Amino acid sequence: MQAKIFMDENVAKHSVDYIKREAKDKSKPFFLYVGLTQIHPPMVTHPDFAGKSTGRGGIYADIIGEMDFRVGQILDAIKDAGIENDTIVVLSSDNATGGVLGAGGGSNGPWHGNFFTPPFEGSYRVPAMIRWPGKIAPAVSNEMLAAEDWMPTLAGLAGEAHRIPTDRPIDGIDASAYMLGKSPKSGRDTYLFFSSDGELMSVKWNTVKVIFRYTEGIEKPIVKPYLPLLYDLSSDPGENVNLWEYNMETGWMFAPALKAMGDYMKSVAKYPNIKTGQDFDGYRQ
């Protein structure tokens, strides 16, 4: 726990040093992934930030304050290196608020549940930001984008879409046209969510959500309801009203989910999932 106190300080320092070193050659692009440890447990605070945010939420706010500061250090390094207008910065979380006892803060707003209650929106729905001065206009959007979309999107923004493998299906979509304001939509309207056991839990199509399995807590079992649950997130972000239970005529909303599932099964049949540890040298056509 003691080592974690200064971990993000060291992560930021090494990141800044890397940027300074790599930016010296303006003709050579570079990539930097920064994985900050906050706000993951154990909940410990760097002494420079401890007690500085008591009026805004205690230790949780102190930790958020440090995270904000570390991001600022990295952005300052990019600017000082003279590459601000040539650098794409993405900031995103890997999951929603954890709901860990003792965390002392955090909120998923109107969304149901937390990290330990998949596939409700509070488990995996997170905000994300992308910054590229002069290229990506400042805006707020509710368009759907998944973590696996970043690889093809960043490749598209960098003019390297041709380097994305074509010998296998790519889960991600290229949303670069949307980012650059050339398209009104991200290109993603459907998302399939799988559990850690590899089985499907839900399908989201635009604002329609179909849940086939779910859990209400880390100590609770995964439940498979007698009939899938159906929600309209545009009017019910908390996933409180199962439309299928109140109005059988909403059954048409299952159609997009069933199509997505069918497309996925066809893809897996043609391109079987690769087992962990298995060597892979491409699919045979």
Whether pLDDT at 2 is above 80:
no
Structure-block tokens of residue 46: 């760097």
Residue 98 Cα distances to 85, 133, 222, 233, angstroms? 35, 32, 18, 21
Residue 43 has pLDDT above 90, yes or no: no
Global pTM exceeds 0.95:
no
HSE-up (13 A, CA, CB side) for residue 93: 17
**Count of domains observed in the chain:** 2
In a domain, 46, yes or no: yes
Give a yes or no: residue 181 inside a domain.
no
* Residue given tokens 């059954």 in the structure block: 251
> Is the Cβ–Cβ distance between 53 and 62 less than 8 Å?
yes
- Domain end call among 83, 110, 142: 83
Report yes or no: 191 and 203 within 8 Å, Cβ to Cβ: yes
Alpha-carbon distance of 193 to 169, in angstroms, equals 17
Summarize pLDDT for 213-271 with one digit per residue, the tens. Answer: 999 988 899 999 999 999 999 999 999 999 988 888 888 889 999 999 999 999 989 88
Could you tell me if residue 65 is inside a domain? Answer: yes
Residue 218: CATH number of its domain: 3.30.1120.10
The parent domain of residue 197 ranges over 190-270
Residue 226 included in any domain: yes
Would you say residue 130 lies in a domain? no
Q: Is 225 part of a structural domain of the chain?
A: yes
**Domain final residue, candidates 51, 83, 115:** 83
**pLDDT tens per residue across span 268-281:** 898 888 888 888 87
Whether 277 maps to a domain, the answer reads no
Please state the rounded mean pLDDT for residues 9-26: 96
240 in a domain, yes or no? yes
* Structural domain ending residue among the three candidates 83, 116, 150: 83
